[in-house]
Structure 1
Amino acid sequence: MDFVNLRKTGDSWEFATEADLEDFVWANLKELFGLIPLKRQYYVKGQICDILALKENKQLVVLEFKNAEDRYIVQQLTRYYNALQEVKPLQDEIDYQQPISLIAIKPNFHRDNFTDKKYNHLSIEFFEFVVLADGFNYYLQINNLDNGKFSKIEIPHQYRESNEDIPLPSRGLMNRLAKCSSEQQEGILKIRKKVLSFDKRMEEMSSAISFRYGNGNSKTSKLCAEFYFDSKGVPIIFLWLGLKNNSSDRISRARIWTDWQGNALLEGYVPSGIGAKMNSYKKTLSNRLKIMNEVAENKTSTFQEKYKHMNQYFKDRNRISRKFNNSEPLTYEERKLLEIDANKFCIVQGGEKLNTYKFDHYDSLNGLVEVALEKWRKRL
């Protein structure tokens, strides 16, 4: 590689973006890990693996990168493992008779990561990395937290100030943020900084209710992200991601649900505006969730009302299940409806035992932003 973007934060150094970290490790897999590069950003059954690599004996290794703290990396690697075991792609290159090795690479690990790993039976290794400065030279040092071994390699670098070319938020954006919660304010400003510092061609374009990010506002410009504020001032995030639940190379404007704690979902695609139909649909399902919880607690007044609500619930459930089985995006409310223990109401279905769904894991909001940035850069 000719150079890697580094930036200084306080007294330490870091990669400017997660993509810069991944690029550098991909180019130096053999020296850092003794691995043979296989695939990058590899899509399998709704999952996108950062790097697939091989040991000399064709054993598959999956590497997942984070440029900041992330509490859910073990769950993410587990999903990759499950998808790869079910599909078993690239069988000419990979020996699936051997166990799949999983590697998490981060600047630091939260104690929850170690708890998750302790009770996970898969082969998962934690590698902590740090960027070291020695005069005019910079190095990536990667430490294996399981055995204490480390590797070190020089980084051909390009220096970037952490706030380089990032304009202060406009008065319009600050007025919108003033009506948001502290978690929403922090989340929006972090994403804004990440997007604007990604590439010098990235611009911020504002209107009364929307703040878009891309390389200009002409018909041929490519957009990457957007903050949209509804009539009540509630912020909604849109990212330009692949169709078919982000598995397609065709890009569209995707509406993102987040709890502002790092969890996120791609709920669907909205070409323009806020998605009034999706808003109405989510509100309807939210009301039905409330009703079904009341039914479960026997708070409905009559048997006829209970029967009507249960019938409607099973219609919703069957429709949402078909979407889920077809790997279509589900809204947050659709997931919550599927999580209801339907077997409590199986009398409506003639006593048939029904599948119970449980969605413990969500996408990483930071990860979805990273994917949108990479897709934006490839489209330029």
Structure 2
Amino acid sequence: MDFVNLRKTGDSWEFATEADLEDFVWANLKELFGLIPLKRQYYVKGQICDILALNEQKQLVVLELKNSEDRYIVQQLTRYYDALQEVKPLEDEIDYQQPISLIAIKPSFHKDNFIDKKYHNLSIDFFEFTILAEECNYYFQIRNLDLHNEKVSKIGIPHQDRERNDNIPPPSRGLMNRLAKCSSEQQEEILKIRQKVFSFDKRMEEIASGVSFKYGNGNSKISKFCVEFYFDSKGIPIIFLWLGLKNNSSDHISRARIWTDWQDNALLEGYVPSGIGVKMNLSKKTLSNRVKIMDQIVANKGSKDHKGYKSMNQYHKDRNRIARKLNNSKPLTYEERQLLEIDANEFVHVIGGGRLNTYKFDHYDSLNGLINVALEKWLKRL
């Protein structure tokens, strides 16, 4: 890692955000635990696992991280365990004949955590970490609480320049007015991203223009941007990132519209040179309505009225168009994914035709990871 954002609280130090803690542990899984990184922010059956990793015997290890005290981490790990056991994703990489190992990592554990663990059937390891400041150096010290305070590991932290962090400008009145209409999850994530962007490089500036807040090195014709928050007519925030074309596989950069659930799951939906993407917005709205209609038809095991016939025919047309995009490795919007995931095979006989291909999208990008990529590409372009 190039750096980690730290902040001082009283006489001690902590990671600036939980995302910074996750970045650090993910980058140092081998040194801290002897583990091989597999997936992060992995979505399975309605649950989002912080980190999935493997040991050398292909045993699955689930790590849940908290940047502060939390009373419900045992329950979270239990839900992850249940979802993974039921779905058994990534079977080519994981040996499910071995028990799934569960690890909780926090700066301190609430007494309720120990009570939950004491009467729990699953084996869960509690790891407590501390950030040590020694002269100009910082260290991550972690220990397994079941091993009588034995020090497990102590490694250096490549910390971000503290003076730069202290000089981050407060959000403008315009941005705060926009955020006031957002949900608490959206507010928290946008401010966290803003903090990360400003901490990345001292040349970073915020350029506000009505409904848009862009971040880059100035506002001239030769300026380069990396992140933008755009608020639509209803005040809903949309994130744009400057990423590679061809679904982020190309070195050529363009402004990409990002879907997110504001819990780090994200998708690159397509490229919009300017504005909000009126055509994309209209398509997303239309497909969202069609998904609702098809879900209703699925629930009713097919519909034989005129509306049912019409919807099924439109469904086939939409599927064929979206499948062509998928086969050509073009980005799909969230609603296009939803439509492809609908299984209409039980009632396809209503309008005739053979069986349909079934699509399932378990993988989402990490919003934090996409922002890291946008920042790195921005730096290379300067």
In structure 1, the residue matched to 2:111 is none
Pair 1:155–1:274, CA change in 2 (3 A)? closer
Percent pairwise identity: 63
- What does 1:93-242 align with in structure 2 at a 5 Å threshold? 107-108=65-66, 110-111=73-74, 112-113=76-77, 115-117=79-81, 119=85, 120=88, 122=94, 128=105, 130-136=129-135, 137-142=137-142, 150-155=152-157, 159-160=161-162, 163-242=165-244
Of stretches 145-154 and 170-179 in structure 1, the one that deviates more from structure 2 is 145-154
Name the residue aligned to 2:369.
Answer: 367
1:62 lines up with 2:61 in the alignment? no
Deviations 1:311-332 (A, max 9, x none): 1101101211222233321111
CA distance in 1, matches of 2:140, 2:254: 36
Q: Taking structure 2 as the reference length, what is the TM-score of the superposition?
A: 0.71
Deviations 1:212-240 (A, max 9, x none): 00111122221110011122222111011
Q: CA deviation at 1:155?
A: 4.3
Distance in 1 between residues matched to 2:377 and 2:161, nearest whole Å? 24
- CA shift at 1:336, angstroms? 1.3
Q: Displacement, 1:106? A: 7.0
CA distance in 2 between counterparts of 1:176 and 1:34 reads: 45
For normalisation by structure 1, the TM-score amounts to 0.71
SS state at 1:273 partner: coil
**Higher mean displacement: 152-161 or 323-332:** 152-161
Is contact 1:335-1:359 (8 Å) kept? yes
Shift of 1:103: 7.1
- The 1:300–1:347 alpha-carbon spacing in structure 2 relative to 1, beyond 3 Å, is closer
1:263 CA drift (Å):
2.3
**For 1:216 and 1:284, how far apart are their aligned partners in 2?**
37
Q: Do the aligned partners of 1:202 and 1:215 also contact (CA within 8 Å) in 2?
A: yes
C-alpha separation in 1, matches of 2:61 and 2:373: 20
* Superposed displacement of residue 138, structure 1: 2.4
Secondary structure, in 3 states, of the residue corresponding to 1:359?
A: coil
Moved more, 121-130 or 209-218: 121-130
Question: Is the contact made by 1:343 and 1:354 (CA closer than 8 Å) also made in structure 2?
Answer: yes
1:267–1:63 distance in 2 versus 1, CA, 3 Å: same
1:279 CA displacement: 0.6
Cα distance in 2, alignment partners of residues 329 and 34 from structure 1: 35
Q: Which amino acid aligns with 2:171?
A: P
Aligned residue-pair number:
330
Quote the residue 1:269 is aligned against. 271
Q: How far, CA to CA, are the matches of 1:292 and 1:206 in structure 2?
A: 41
- Assess if the C-alpha contact under 8 Å between 1:65 and 1:104 holds in 2: no
Does residue 72 in structure 1 map to residue 71 in structure 2?
no
Deviates more, 1:303-312 or 1:358-367: 358-367
SS at match of 1:337: helix
* Aligned positions of 1:287-298 closer than 5 A: 287-298=289-300
What corresponds to 2:259 in structure 1?
257
Change beyond 3 A, Cα 1:102–1:22: farther
User: Is the CA contact (8 Å cut-off) linking 2:182 and 2:236 kept in structure 1?
Assistant: yes
Q: Please show how residues 15-26 of structure 1 align to structure 2 within 5 Å.
A: none
Judge conservation of contact 2:228–2:240 (CA < 8 Å) in 1. yes
Does residue 286 of structure 2 align to residue 284 of structure 1? yes
SS of the equivalent of 2:166 reads: coil
**Cα distance in structure 1, aligned partners of 2:63 and 2:304:** 56
SS in 1 for 2:311: helix
Q: 3-12 or 235-244, which moves further after superposition? A: 3-12
Cα gap change, 1:307/1:145 in structure 2, threshold over 3 Å: closer, same or farther? farther
CA distance, structure 2, for counterparts of residue 281 and residue 170 of structure 1: 33
Do the aligned residues in 1 keep the contact of 2:7 with 2:14 (CA within 8 Å)?
Answer: yes
State how far apart, in whole Å, the 1-side matches of 2:204 and 2:79 are: 39
Q: Which runs of 5+ in 2 are unaligned?
A: 42-46, 68-72, 106-127
1:127–1:143: 8 Å Cα contact kept in structure 2?
no
State the secondary structure of the residue aligned to 2:200: coil
CA 1:216–1:140 in structure 2 vs 1: closer, same or farther (change >3 Å)? Answer: same
- Which has the larger displacement, 284-293 or 138-147? 138-147
1:139 alignment partner AA: Y
CA–CA distance in 2 between the matches of 1:30 and 1:302? 58
| Conserved? CA contact 2:301–2:346, under 8 Å | no
